[in-house]
Amino acid sequence: MVNPAEIPTTRVSDLPADGAVLLDVREADEWAAGHAPDAVHIPLGDLPASTDRLAELPDDRPVYVICRTGGRSAQATAWLNAAGLVDAVNVAGGMKSWQTEGRALETDHDAAEPEVL
């Protein structure tokens, strides 16, 4: 088991203002309700089986991993770093903090306001 103190972590407010690569590991219904523009969506449970999808992520800069509040993204960050697949950083507070910080949200539902589930 990975010690949480060993997982690289940042806050939403400390994310790079431009060009940050965001990997959303929430479930499909959570993603559809509201997600960050330009984020890559790979649910946590699909990560080990989706290594080919990880080619969508850069290998030359950090990938910021996000979920609803930070628990699943911490697990994903630990796995991605241990596997040496990408340089992953957990986003503490997740999409709840993203929304609180007033960051942009999109939804996959027509005529619905984005929300964080």
Identify which of 45, 50, 43, 46 has the alpha carbon closest to the alpha carbon of residue 28.
Answer: 43
| Residue 107 pLDDT exceeds 80 | yes
The tokens 């990560």 sit on which residue? 47
- Model confidence over 1-48: pLDDT tens digits? 556 568 999 999 999 878 889 999 999 999 999 999 999 999 998 888
Alpha-carbon gap, residue 23 to 17, rounded angstroms: 16
Provide the pLDDT for residue 4.
Answer: 58
Q: Hey, where are the domains in the chain?
A: 4-100
CATH of 4-100, one of 3.40.250.10, 3.30.1490.150, 3.40.50.1000, 2.40.30.10: 3.40.250.10
Query: Catalytic positions, please?
Result: 67
| Residue 117 pLDDT exceeds 90 | no
